[in-house]
Amino acid sequence: MASGSSSEFSTQLVTQTDTYLETIRECVDRLSTLVERYASGESPHDVAETIRALESECDVQKRTLSSLVTNTSVREFGIRNSRVHLNSEQLVKLYQLLDEIPNTAEQIAEDISTIDPPREQWAFQQYHEITEHARTAMATLYDAVHEFIHLLCSPTETGTITDHISDIRETESACDSIRNDIIAEAFEGSTTQPLLYREFANNFDHLVDTMEDTTDHLVLLSSSEPWITAEPGTV
Protein backbone atom coordinates (compact mmCIF):
# COMPACT_ATOMS: atom_id res chain seq x y z
CA MET A 1 0.00 0.00 0.00
CA ALA A 2 1.76 3.10 -1.24
CA SER A 3 0.09 5.56 1.11
CA GLY A 4 -2.71 5.96 3.60
CA SER A 5 -3.33 5.57 7.31
CA SER A 6 -3.64 2.34 9.26
CA SER A 7 -7.39 2.95 9.56
CA GLU A 8 -7.64 3.19 5.77
CA PHE A 9 -5.83 -0.13 5.49
CA SER A 10 -8.31 -1.73 7.91
CA THR A 11 -11.25 -0.39 5.95
CA GLN A 12 -9.81 -1.65 2.67
CA LEU A 13 -9.10 -5.11 4.08
CA VAL A 14 -12.57 -5.55 5.57
CA THR A 15 -14.39 -4.13 2.54
CA GLN A 16 -12.39 -6.05 -0.05
CA THR A 17 -12.68 -9.28 1.93
CA ASP A 18 -16.46 -8.87 2.12
CA THR A 19 -16.58 -8.31 -1.64
CA TYR A 20 -14.48 -11.43 -2.20
CA LEU A 21 -16.72 -13.49 0.07
CA GLU A 22 -19.85 -12.19 -1.66
CA THR A 23 -18.51 -13.21 -5.08
CA ILE A 24 -17.67 -16.68 -3.78
CA ARG A 25 -21.13 -16.99 -2.26
CA GLU A 26 -22.72 -15.97 -5.55
CA CYS A 27 -20.66 -18.63 -7.31
CA VAL A 28 -21.97 -21.32 -4.95
CA ASP A 29 -25.54 -20.04 -5.28
CA ARG A 30 -25.34 -20.20 -9.07
CA LEU A 31 -24.09 -23.79 -8.96
CA SER A 32 -27.20 -24.79 -7.02
CA THR A 33 -29.30 -23.04 -9.67
CA LEU A 34 -27.44 -24.85 -12.45
CA VAL A 35 -28.06 -28.27 -10.89
CA GLU A 36 -31.74 -27.56 -10.35
CA ARG A 37 -32.24 -26.30 -13.91
CA TYR A 38 -30.23 -29.12 -15.46
CA ALA A 39 -32.30 -31.72 -13.63
CA SER A 40 -35.47 -30.12 -15.01
CA GLY A 41 -34.18 -30.41 -18.59
CA GLU A 42 -32.76 -26.92 -19.17
CA SER A 43 -29.39 -26.16 -20.74
CA PRO A 44 -26.57 -25.57 -18.22
CA HIS A 45 -24.43 -23.42 -20.51
CA ASP A 46 -25.62 -19.92 -19.57
CA VAL A 47 -25.30 -20.53 -15.84
CA ALA A 48 -21.96 -22.28 -16.35
CA GLU A 49 -20.72 -19.19 -18.19
CA THR A 50 -21.84 -16.99 -15.30
CA ILE A 51 -20.01 -19.22 -12.82
CA ARG A 52 -16.91 -19.06 -14.99
CA ALA A 53 -17.03 -15.26 -14.95
CA LEU A 54 -17.55 -15.19 -11.18
CA GLU A 55 -14.59 -17.50 -10.66
CA SER A 56 -12.43 -15.15 -12.71
CA GLU A 57 -13.58 -12.25 -10.52
CA CYS A 58 -12.57 -14.27 -7.47
CA ASP A 59 -9.08 -14.75 -8.89
CA VAL A 60 -8.67 -11.00 -9.33
CA GLN A 61 -10.05 -10.25 -5.87
CA LYS A 62 -7.79 -12.83 -4.25
CA ARG A 63 -4.71 -11.35 -5.92
CA THR A 64 -5.75 -7.83 -4.91
CA LEU A 65 -6.20 -8.86 -1.28
CA SER A 66 -2.93 -10.79 -1.20
CA SER A 67 -1.13 -7.80 -2.67
CA LEU A 68 -2.74 -5.47 -0.13
CA VAL A 69 -1.43 -7.60 2.73
CA THR A 70 2.02 -8.43 1.38
CA ASN A 71 2.86 -4.99 -0.02
CA THR A 72 1.95 -3.03 3.09
CA SER A 73 4.95 -2.02 5.18
CA VAL A 74 5.23 -2.41 8.95
CA ARG A 75 4.93 1.36 9.29
CA GLU A 76 1.78 1.43 7.16
CA PHE A 77 0.24 -1.39 9.21
CA GLY A 78 0.73 0.68 12.35
CA ILE A 79 0.02 -0.42 15.90
CA ARG A 80 -3.70 -0.61 15.13
CA ASN A 81 -3.07 -3.45 12.65
CA SER A 82 -0.41 -5.35 14.57
CA ARG A 83 -2.63 -8.46 14.50
CA VAL A 84 -2.70 -8.34 10.70
CA HIS A 85 1.05 -7.84 10.48
CA LEU A 86 1.79 -10.79 12.78
CA ASN A 87 -0.57 -13.06 10.81
CA SER A 88 0.02 -11.71 7.30
CA GLU A 89 1.46 -14.92 5.83
CA GLN A 90 -1.37 -17.07 7.16
CA LEU A 91 -3.91 -14.46 6.06
CA VAL A 92 -2.72 -14.81 2.46
CA LYS A 93 -3.07 -18.58 2.88
CA LEU A 94 -6.65 -18.04 4.03
CA TYR A 95 -7.48 -16.18 0.84
CA GLN A 96 -5.91 -18.98 -1.20
CA LEU A 97 -8.02 -21.60 0.57
CA LEU A 98 -11.15 -19.56 -0.04
CA ASP A 99 -10.28 -19.50 -3.74
CA GLU A 100 -10.64 -23.29 -3.86
CA ILE A 101 -14.39 -22.89 -3.35
CA PRO A 102 -15.16 -21.05 -6.62
CA ASN A 103 -12.55 -23.19 -8.38
CA THR A 104 -14.46 -26.32 -7.38
CA ALA A 105 -17.84 -24.80 -8.27
CA GLU A 106 -16.53 -23.83 -11.69
CA GLN A 107 -15.10 -27.30 -12.30
CA ILE A 108 -18.41 -28.98 -11.46
CA ALA A 109 -20.29 -26.56 -13.71
CA GLU A 110 -17.83 -27.19 -16.55
CA ASP A 111 -18.12 -30.96 -16.12
CA ILE A 112 -21.91 -30.90 -16.24
CA SER A 113 -21.88 -28.58 -19.24
CA THR A 114 -19.28 -30.63 -21.12
CA ILE A 115 -20.13 -34.21 -20.17
CA ASP A 116 -23.91 -33.71 -20.27
CA PRO A 117 -24.61 -36.61 -17.87
CA PRO A 118 -27.96 -38.43 -17.96
CA ARG A 119 -30.50 -36.45 -15.93
CA GLU A 120 -31.26 -39.20 -13.44
CA GLN A 121 -33.64 -37.58 -10.96
CA TRP A 122 -32.58 -39.74 -8.02
CA ALA A 123 -28.99 -38.53 -8.45
CA PHE A 124 -29.60 -34.89 -9.27
CA GLN A 125 -32.06 -34.43 -6.44
CA GLN A 126 -29.29 -35.48 -4.08
CA TYR A 127 -26.67 -33.41 -5.90
CA HIS A 128 -28.98 -30.44 -5.46
CA GLU A 129 -29.37 -31.28 -1.79
CA ILE A 130 -25.58 -31.08 -1.41
CA THR A 131 -25.48 -27.72 -3.19
CA GLU A 132 -28.17 -26.39 -0.87
CA HIS A 133 -26.07 -27.52 2.08
CA ALA A 134 -23.12 -25.81 0.40
CA ARG A 135 -25.09 -22.56 0.18
CA THR A 136 -25.85 -22.75 3.90
CA ALA A 137 -22.24 -23.56 4.76
CA MET A 138 -20.97 -20.72 2.57
CA ALA A 139 -23.27 -18.22 4.26
CA THR A 140 -21.92 -19.38 7.62
CA LEU A 141 -18.34 -19.23 6.37
CA TYR A 142 -18.97 -15.70 5.10
CA ASP A 143 -19.97 -14.64 8.62
CA ALA A 144 -17.03 -16.47 10.22
CA VAL A 145 -14.40 -14.93 7.95
CA HIS A 146 -16.00 -11.49 8.20
CA GLU A 147 -15.86 -11.67 12.00
CA PHE A 148 -12.29 -12.96 11.91
CA ILE A 149 -11.11 -10.12 9.66
CA HIS A 150 -13.01 -7.57 11.75
CA LEU A 151 -11.26 -8.78 14.91
CA LEU A 152 -7.95 -9.00 13.09
CA CYS A 153 -8.22 -5.31 12.25
CA SER A 154 -9.12 -4.31 15.80
CA PRO A 155 -6.41 -3.58 18.37
CA THR A 156 -8.62 -4.42 21.36
CA GLU A 157 -11.79 -6.37 20.49
CA THR A 158 -12.26 -10.07 21.22
CA GLY A 159 -14.81 -12.55 19.89
CA THR A 160 -15.69 -16.11 18.95
CA ILE A 161 -16.56 -18.05 15.81
CA THR A 162 -17.01 -21.43 17.49
CA ASP A 163 -20.67 -21.80 16.48
CA HIS A 164 -19.77 -21.09 12.85
CA ILE A 165 -17.05 -23.75 12.91
CA SER A 166 -19.38 -26.33 14.48
CA ASP A 167 -22.16 -25.62 12.00
CA ILE A 168 -19.89 -26.01 8.97
CA ARG A 169 -18.45 -29.27 10.31
CA GLU A 170 -21.95 -30.64 10.84
CA THR A 171 -22.95 -29.63 7.32
CA GLU A 172 -19.86 -31.29 5.88
CA SER A 173 -20.73 -34.52 7.71
CA ALA A 174 -24.27 -34.38 6.33
CA CYS A 175 -22.87 -34.01 2.81
CA ASP A 176 -20.60 -37.00 3.37
CA SER A 177 -23.68 -39.08 4.14
CA ILE A 178 -25.50 -37.89 1.02
CA ARG A 179 -22.42 -38.62 -1.09
CA ASN A 180 -22.23 -42.14 0.31
CA ASP A 181 -25.93 -42.70 -0.39
CA ILE A 182 -25.50 -41.58 -4.01
CA ILE A 183 -22.53 -43.88 -4.54
CA ALA A 184 -24.29 -46.84 -2.94
CA GLU A 185 -27.40 -46.32 -5.04
CA ALA A 186 -25.34 -45.88 -8.21
CA PHE A 187 -23.69 -49.27 -7.80
CA GLU A 188 -26.71 -51.10 -6.43
CA GLY A 189 -29.25 -49.71 -8.89
CA SER A 190 -29.83 -50.07 -12.61
CA THR A 191 -27.78 -47.09 -13.79
CA THR A 192 -25.37 -47.87 -16.60
CA GLN A 193 -22.75 -45.31 -15.51
CA PRO A 194 -22.12 -45.78 -11.77
CA LEU A 195 -18.56 -44.47 -12.00
CA LEU A 196 -19.79 -41.20 -13.47
CA TYR A 197 -22.29 -40.66 -10.67
CA ARG A 198 -19.63 -41.54 -8.10
CA GLU A 199 -17.28 -38.95 -9.59
CA PHE A 200 -19.93 -36.24 -9.50
CA ALA A 201 -20.90 -37.21 -5.93
CA ASN A 202 -17.28 -36.86 -4.82
CA ASN A 203 -16.91 -33.53 -6.62
CA PHE A 204 -20.04 -32.05 -5.07
CA ASP A 205 -18.93 -33.25 -1.64
CA HIS A 206 -15.49 -31.71 -2.24
CA LEU A 207 -17.17 -28.31 -2.58
CA VAL A 208 -18.15 -28.45 1.09
CA ASP A 209 -14.82 -30.05 2.01
CA THR A 210 -13.08 -26.90 0.77
CA MET A 211 -15.20 -24.84 3.14
CA GLU A 212 -14.28 -27.08 6.06
CA ASP A 213 -10.61 -26.80 5.06
CA THR A 214 -10.98 -23.03 5.37
CA THR A 215 -12.47 -23.34 8.85
CA ASP A 216 -9.57 -25.62 9.83
CA HIS A 217 -7.21 -22.82 8.82
CA LEU A 218 -9.22 -20.33 10.87
CA VAL A 219 -8.83 -22.65 13.85
CA LEU A 220 -5.09 -22.85 13.22
CA LEU A 221 -4.82 -19.08 12.95
CA SER A 222 -6.79 -18.62 16.15
CA SER A 223 -5.12 -21.34 18.21
CA SER A 224 -2.39 -19.10 19.64
CA GLU A 225 -4.37 -15.85 19.70
CA PRO A 226 -6.11 -14.64 22.88
CA TRP A 227 -8.48 -12.32 21.01
CA ILE A 228 -10.50 -14.99 19.19
CA THR A 229 -11.90 -18.43 19.96
CA ALA A 230 -12.52 -20.71 17.00
CA GLU A 231 -12.21 -24.26 18.26
CA PRO A 232 -15.42 -25.48 19.95
CA GLY A 233 -14.75 -26.54 23.52
CA THR A 234 -11.87 -24.12 24.11
CA VAL A 235 -11.85 -20.93 26.08
Residue 234 lies in a domain: no
Assigned domain for 61 exists: yes
With respect to residue 158, please indicate whether it lies within any of the assigned structural domains: yes
Note the pLDDT of residue 2: 41
Instruction: Give the residues of the chain that fall short of pLDDT 70.
Output: 1-6, 73-81, 232-235
- Written as one string, the DSSP assignment of 57-112 is HHHHHHHHHHHHHHT--HHHHTGGGHHHHHTHHHHHHHHHHHHHHHHHHHHHHHHH
Q: What is the CATH number of the domain that holds 106?
A: 1.20.58.220
Per-residue model confidence (pLDDT) at position 1 = 44
Q: What are phi and psi of 157, to 5 degrees?
A: -70, 150
Backbone Cα Rg of the chain: 19
Domain-located, residue 58: yes
For the entire predicted model, the pTM comes to 0.93
For residue 87, CA distances in Å to 70, 73, 194 come to 11, 14, 45
For the stretch 70-111, pLDDT in tens is 887 666 555 556 787 788 899 999 999 999 999 999 999 999
DSSP letters for 154-185: -SS--EE-HHHHHHHHHHHHHHHHHHHHHHHH
How far apart (Å, rounded) are the C-alpha atoms in residues 121 and 47? 20
CA distance 186 to 168: 27
Residue 1: inside a domain: no
The per-residue pLDDT for 148 is 94
Does residue 99 contact residue 23 with C-beta atoms inside 8 Å? no
Region label for 34, one of left (φ > 0), alpha (ψ between -120 and 50) or beta (otherwise):
alpha
CA–CA separation, 50 vs 83, rounded Å?
Answer: 36
What pLDDT does residue 76 have? 58
Domain membership flag for residue 235: no
58: left (phi over 0), alpha (psi -120 to 50) or beta: alpha
Q: Are 23 and 106 spatial neighbours (Cβ–Cβ below 8 Å)?
A: no
Look up the domain containing 61 and give its range. Answer: 6-229
24 in a structural domain: yes
Q: What is the pLDDT of residue 155?
A: 79
Contact 58, 17 (CB under 8 A): no
217 occurs within a structural domain: yes
Looking at the structure of the chain, the number of domains it has is: 1
